[in-house]
């Protein structure tokens, strides 16, 4: 089991009743008919995205609404439902999942379900409520029965009204059955699979798969079933290397936009650049398949080739064949002296992985040799990663005291991480954060804040305060990402829901800069309208600075 962090946590809900679409209480509309009630407007906008089947957009919309209106349960409920729809579509375009669906028997999938429930029983941060877990599994099946990808694969010749009749009644088949233990849940999933086979001709294994994925998909935003591909990708991200093209992608409505290209990787050698867009992968056009499916097609065995269609500004659309190779992903970017007069060093940390501390040490010594007097460490957009990497980074700047404490239901998850004097850098420190700085980023920022070690600039962080463990399944090539503990700042403050509030709040106007290299191979400076960075630089200039090297 490996400890890591990612994500955001919504509340649990009785999902089955929500899928049928009853009205949900919202704030009352304004008495003036001409006035626009912002909460109702947000809700209707989300429902419109759901009706259009735009699940990624709906998820982002509801996430924003939850942050803006945390007291509105309706947004949390719709977010959960949107995630379930997206999860079904994603799984049924995941080649490793489809292989498992085609090859595993119903008893084998039931064994996996039991293995997941056993992990919940032993390792989940809260004592599992088995009735809720059962409801979530049934809700996942209900969602799957209205998802075209599921229906086309398993029920292509079954009349829609027959499927709908079963979907509307499936929750009642288990409501009076025992649900007090994980053994009851296994028996119930097997029972529903038998009914679905009898009434619809649905494969029992396909039914049980929905209970497998639904068991964890709605516990919290970070607990999730990992297909074989996702498990491999998770460990590749943690290790800091993967087999692929060496690009960072951003999903847009009809294409995969290349955000950055890793130096020396196959994409760079093929001539791909930041700003280019991939519009087709192996004849699968990105305006017709999900972004996850297209990105999944880019992966493959080392040394093989993938065909992509690329759009570049000012050029005709072109088809390219790019070789997949092992690529090391740097977690530290754009290391440079931002202001030579005042000796202001800058580096950006994009994630926390096994290579992070090695990369940080190299960057700090480089900046020290170039005359660094003060360090600006940019964590904007950093979603987190390895807990231990976040702790080790804080240890580089704190000489003693607690860094973070974790607490779980299982006593094996209870740790107090403390700083050590050896190797501590005493250089004055400014940390840049935003609402996408999460997890290990927040561990570091909270430790710096509580110890008064530096100044935090930007906007309040994401508010993700839980620890996940990655468990490999024994019954198949798959995994489980499970929340096992919560973490607290050195002063005992919970991070979940509250995040870290900066000393100097600044409205973000541009995203944190990606590393950009000009034709001569020289890193360009951050954009001039980066108000967060400009504020940090002005703060440093207005304060006394000293040049201190790390203590032995």
Q: Which of 166-175, 239-248, 520-529 has the highest mean pLDDT?
A: 166-175
Q: Model confidence at 21, in pLDDT bands (50, 70, 90)?
A: very low
- What sign for the dihedral angle of Cα 315, 320, 323, 324? positive
- Look up residue 362 and give its two tokens: 């190299």
Length of the chain: 552
CB of 401 closer than 8 Å to CB of 451:
yes
Catalytic residue among 100, 450, 486, 489: 450
CB of 428 closer than 8 Å to CB of 540:
yes
**β-pairing verdict for 374-378 and 429-433:** parallel
Question: φ, ψ for residue 86 (rounded to 5)?
Answer: -60, -40
Q: 493: closest CA among 445, 456, 458, 453?
A: 445
Distance CA 301, CA 191 (A): 40
Across all residues in the chain, what is the average pLDDT?
A: 86
pLDDT of residue 528: 52
- 197 is annotated as an active-site residue: no
- Look up residue 507 and give its two tokens: 């409205």
- 450 is annotated as an active-site residue: yes
Q: What is the pLDDT of residues 490-533, one digit of tens each?
A: 999 999 888 999 999 998 664 444 444 333 333 344 445 799 99
pLDDT of residue 328: 79
- Statement: residue 482 has pLDDT above 80: yes
Q: Is 136 strand, coil or helix?
A: helix
Q: What is the pLDDT of residues 62-120, one digit of tens each?
A: 988 998 898 999 999 999 999 999 999 889 988 899 999 999 999 999 999 999 999 99
Distance CA 362, CA 468 (A): 29
Q: Model confidence at 36, in pLDDT bands (50, 70, 90)?
A: low
Strands (E), 154-237: 224-226
- Statement: residue 131 has pLDDT above 90: yes
pLDDT of residue 348: 96
- Look up residue 493 and give its two tokens: 């403050």
Catalytic residue among 190, 437, 439, 489: 439
pLDDT of residue 298: 86
pLDDT of residue 497: 83
Catalytic residue among 190, 296, 395, 464: 464
- Look up residue 322 and give its two tokens: 């790019």
What's the number of CA atoms in the CB half-sphere (13 Å) around residue 377? 27
Give the global pTM: 0.78
* 7 against 207, higher pLDDT: 207
pLDDT of residue 537: 95
- Statement: residue 237 has pLDDT above 90: no
Question: Long-range contacts of range 51-58, CB-CB < 8 Å, 24 or more positions apart?
Answer: 53/85, 55/82, 55/85, 55/86, 55/89, 56/86, 56/251, 56/290, 56/291, 58/82
pLDDT of residue 314: 85
| Mean pLDDT value of segment 280-309 | 84
């Amino acid at each position: 089991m490996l400890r890591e962090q990612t994500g955001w946590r919504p509340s649990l809900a009785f999902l089955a009743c929500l899928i049928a679409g009853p009205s949900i209480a919202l704030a009352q509309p304004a008495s003036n008919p001409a006035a626009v009630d912002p909460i109702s407007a947000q809700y209707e906008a989300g429902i419109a995205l759901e009706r259009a089947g735009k699940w990624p957009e709906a998820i982002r919309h509801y996430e924003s609404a939850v942050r803006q209106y945390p007291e509105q349960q309706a947004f949390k409920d719709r977010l959960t439902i949107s995630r379930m729809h997206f999860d079904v579509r994603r799984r049924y375009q995941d080649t490793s999942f489809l292989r498992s669906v085609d090859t595993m028997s119903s008893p084998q999938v039931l064994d996996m379900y039991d293995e997941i429930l056993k992990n919940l029983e032993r390792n989940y941060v809260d004592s599992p409520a088995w009735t809720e877990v059962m409801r979530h599994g049934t809700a996942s099946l209900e969602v799957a029965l209205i998802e075209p990808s599921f229906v086309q694969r398993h029920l292509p010749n079954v009349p829609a009204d027959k499927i709908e009749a079963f979907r509307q009644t499936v929750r009642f088949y288990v409501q009076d059955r025992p649900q007090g233990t994980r053994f009851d849940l296994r028996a119930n999933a097997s029972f529903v699979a038998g009914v679905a086979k009898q009434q619809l001709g649905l494969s029992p294994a396909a039914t049980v798969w929905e209970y497998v994925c639904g068991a964890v998909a709605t516990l919290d935003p970070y607990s999730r079933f990992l297909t074989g591909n996702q498990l491999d990708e998770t460990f590749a991200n943690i290790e800091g290397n993967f087999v692929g093209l060496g690009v960072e992608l951003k999903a847009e409505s009809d294409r995969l936009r290349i955000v950055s290209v890793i130096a020396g990787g196959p994409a760079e050698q093929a001539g791909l650049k930041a700003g280019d867009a991939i519009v087709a992968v192996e004849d699968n056009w990105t305006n017709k398949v999900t972004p996850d499916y297209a990105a999944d097609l880019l992966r493959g065995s080392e040394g093989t080739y993938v065909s992509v269609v690329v759009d570049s500004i000012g050029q005709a659309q072109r088809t390219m064949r790019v070789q997949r190779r092992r690529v090391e992903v740097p977690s530290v970017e754009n290391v440079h002296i931002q202001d030579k007069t005042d000796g202001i060093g800058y580096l950006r940390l994009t994630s926390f992985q096994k290579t992070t501390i090695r990369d940080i040490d190299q960057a700090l010594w480089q900046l020290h040799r170039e005359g660094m007097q003060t360090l600006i460490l940019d964590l904007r957009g950093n979603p987190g990663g390895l807990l231990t990497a976040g702790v080790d980074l804080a240890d580089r700047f704190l000489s003693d005291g607690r860094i973070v404490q974790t607490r779980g239901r299982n006593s094996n998850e209870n740790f107090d991480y403390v700083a050590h004097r050896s190797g501590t850098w005493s250089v004055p420190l400014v940390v840049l954060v935003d609402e996408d700085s999460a997890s290990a980023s927040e561990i570091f920022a909270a430790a710096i804040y509580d110890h008064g070690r530096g100044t935090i600039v930007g906007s309040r962080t994401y508010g993700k305060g839980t620890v996940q463990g990655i468990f490999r399944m024994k019954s198949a090539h798959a995994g489980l990402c499970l929340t096992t503990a919560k973490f607290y700042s050195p002063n005992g403050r919970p991070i979940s829901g509250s995040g870290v509030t900066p000393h100097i709040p600044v409205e973000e106007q541009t995203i944190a800069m990606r590393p950009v290299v000009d034709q001569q191979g020289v890193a360009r400076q951050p954009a001039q309208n980066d108000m967060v960075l400009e504020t940090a630089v002005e703060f440093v200039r207005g304060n006394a600075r000293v040049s201190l090297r790390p203590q032995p």
